[in-house]
Amino acid sequence: MQRPKEYTVHEVQAQMQSAVPPRLVDVRDLSEWNHVRLDGGQLLTEELLDEMVNQWPPETPIVCYCHHGIRSLNAAVYLAQRGFHNVSSMRGGIDAWAREIDANLPRY
């Protein structure tokens, strides 16, 4: 299996504005999610993971993100191992998004 791609926050922003935007999957914990989140992001819960594995087509474009991009890369590997062909990680995570895309987002 090939390592999932990592995209910069600017590349993810462009993808979100495309005709077929990716699904944003936030792999942080609930307290981080409650502190700050990206519009359109979905918190990875057991229920969402079950839905993804059992209902989402394997070609669904998915971008995982976390605080700095480490957990999201691990999550992207996990999803790729479960048959998703178009899964990636956002390099730098939500922290990079707050620094480079939306300075109004709180940082922690």
Catalytic positions are: 66
Render 52-102 in DSSP notation, one character per residue.
HHHHS-TT--EEEE-SSSHHHHHHHHHHHHTT-SSEEEETTHHHHHHHHT-
Render 9-27 in DSSP notation, one character per residue.
HHHHHHHHTSSSPPEEEE-
How many Cβ atoms sit within 10 Å of the Cβ of residue 68? 15
